[in-house]
Structure 1
Amino acid sequence: MTYHPVPTVRRRRLGSTLRKLRTEAGMTLDAAAEALNAAQRGRAGARHWSAPKLSRIENANATIRATEVAALLEAYAISDAEVRAALEGLAKDAGKRGWWQTYRGVVAPAYADYISLESDAESVRDYAPLVVPGLLQTPDYARETIAANAVARSPAEVAALAEVRLARQAVLTRPRAPLRLWAVIHEAALHRRFSGRPAIMTEQLLRLLDVADWPTVTLQVMPIDAAPNPGDAGAFTLVGFPGPMPDVVTQENLRGPVYVEGADDVNVFADAFGHIVDSALSPDETKALIAGLVGKRAPHREHLPSAREPA
């Protein structure tokens, strides 16, 4: 399997944001390149900039240093410290090797891109009509669902992919600014059966009840008898970022994630998620429904670990 070490979605986010800020500043590519050259004039190791080179940056076909981003933001009159720090940090991290690269033999480039997005994000809005979102899965549930979908994978690869999925969940409890998750799960996904292992779903339901009380998690269930709504079109995930950086939508299939970018297209999904939320049960109704499902599975609750919120 070929692995591309550069998180290309990070590059696209940085490039599109720089293009947006340049346009808002009323500068052409030539003017921006000249401003960058002037800012670096006489500096050791400075690169010469031209309109085509800057265009390649904006189109994610080349890299840019954090110091060069800082010079561009100065030229664009961007004084917001949070915005500057976010974009300079993104430039530093554009080619950063993340923890997931330990698994590069089984993690495809598109999936690695998604994990890098998730690690940078401040929020995720997830509509899951068929399975519990990966950020909320228990170890057994993760292994079973991955094995069912990764039909061409060996048992060792399935185990590695399950480890990756569980490791991703650290974003929910990171010390600084834990990820805010808003998940809407279709009720049908909560009735999933695992042949001969009913405790898997019981444990997963208990996990959902636990995280539903976390201050950074909003959990809703789409009831089976809900009226038609945009969720009928299928699963999607909206990944949100701080500052001026654009949000990204991902849609999963058997070949991996597909990305939707561009404000107009992303807004379609943001609007759809709003309608989905309105059609779903409230968080309190959701907890009551899940608790009822756990009660029906009471004979299978023995010896199940509690997924309590980390300190």
Structure 2
Amino acid sequence: MTLDIESATPALCRLQLGSELRQLRSAAGLKSTQVVKRLIWSPSKLTRLETGENASVETSDVMALCEIYGASDEKKAMLLGYAAVTKTKRDWWQSAAYRPVIGPGFKAFLGLEATASALHTYESEFVPGLLQTEAYVRVIHQRAHEGLGVEEVDKLVAVRTTRQEVLRREGAPLKLTAIINEAVLQRCVGSPAVMRDQLRHLADVADSMPNVRVQVIPFKLGAHSGMNGPFVVLHFPDRAVLKPIVYLENLADAWVTRREDNVERYNEAFTDLSALAPGHRESLSMIQTAIKEL
């Protein structure tokens, strides 16, 4: 399926282009090693193209691949249109103000998040980023990046709050389902006032925005399928040829995985957690109780 080039974001065009190129290579019966050998490219160059990791895509590279794959004129024109968007438009996180504080792995995630139609996340330690208040996220970054100056922390906070616009984007806001551990409600991040405001915001958003659903895993439920750590599963619009992708991060790195067996495991884990956790109203009640206890 094709995208509306006029309204498509660079992130979506890069991802759609990469997926289309992978399909063309597969249909041509070619391995990536064969392609890079013919074009005298490094293996990483083709990988970046097929995974949408480049900030922009050269039309000459797309032309060369289309020739090798025997793409039709119609397909070639479509892919060149995607490449042109990546050269003429910029995603907000590519601006000079944000680049210094965004690592490669998280940059890849931002492109996916901006493109996704639905996001399923399990978080065990803190409120998911899309639902954090400015004061709450500032405390997290001040603690996690103690060597950073005020200006760098301000940029990190701005990145987090700008991300949240996907929940209110015009036409097709992101559908967010967030499952959190009860520990998130009990751990006081910052002062009690900061934490109360954060929990009130969490409850208000979950109760007022139809595209946001929050569930809480109570301690009393014991062991569950999210105990190996937090994760995010991203789902994409029907018009895209992109399959679900998983995003993971730790203290040192952040990365995405597209392997179907890995994605399926995380999808199953999220389904299990959703079935295990109390529903919307009971989860909101747990949040309200935590607010009173503060």
Give the alignment's TM-score, normalised by structure 1: 0.72
Equivalent residue, structure 2, for 1:269: 266
> Deviation of residue 260 (structure 1)?
1.6
| Residue type at the aligned position of 1:233 | N
Q: Structure 2 matches for 1:250-269, cutoff 5 A?
A: 250-269=247-266
The Cα RMSD (Å) is 3.8
Q: Say whether residues 1:181 and 2:165 are aligned partners.
A: no
Equivalent residue, structure 2, for 1:119: 114
Equivalent residue, structure 1, for 2:90: 97
Equivalent residue, structure 2, for 1:132: 127
What's the CA shift string for 1:120-145, capped at 9, x where partnerless?
11111110000000100011101001
Equivalent residue, structure 2, for 1:59: 47
Cα distance change, pair 114–104 in 1 and its aligned pair in 2 (3 A):
same
8 A contact 2:105–2:256 mirrored in 1: no
Unaligned runs of 5+ in 2: 1-9
CA distance in structure 2 between the aligned counterparts of 1:268 and 1:284, rounded to whole angstroms: 28
8 A contact 2:19–2:241 mirrored in 1: no
> Deviation of residue 163 (structure 1)?
1.2
8 A contact 2:59–2:83 mirrored in 1: no
> Deviation of residue 75 (structure 1)?
6.8
What's the CA shift string for 1:38-89, capped at 9, x where partnerless?
xxxxxxxxxxxx6777x987533584649869x79x9778x9x9xx989954
Matched positions, count: 269
Equivalent residue, structure 1, for 2:6: none
8 A contact 1:11–1:60 mirrored in 2: no
- Structure with the higher fraction of residues in helix conformation: 2
Q: What percent of counterpart residues are identical?
A: 32
Unaligned runs of 5+ in 1: 1-6, 34-49, 298-311
> Deviation of residue 294 (structure 1)?
2.1
Cα distance change, pair 125–252 in 1 and its aligned pair in 2 (3 A):
same
Equivalent residue, structure 1, for 2:5: none
Give the alignment's TM-score, normalised by structure 2: 0.76
| Residue type at the aligned position of 1:112 | K
Max radius of gyration: which structure? 1
| Residue type at the aligned position of 2:116 | A
Equivalent residue, structure 2, for 1:228: 223
Q: Structure 2 matches for 1:156-171, cutoff 5 A?
A: 156-171=151-166
Cα distance change, pair 282–265 in 1 and its aligned pair in 2 (3 A):
same
CA distance in structure 1 between the aligned counterparts of 2:14 and 2:82, rounded to whole angstroms: 12
> Deviation of residue 157 (structure 1)?
1.0
> Deviation of residue 114 (structure 1)?
1.8
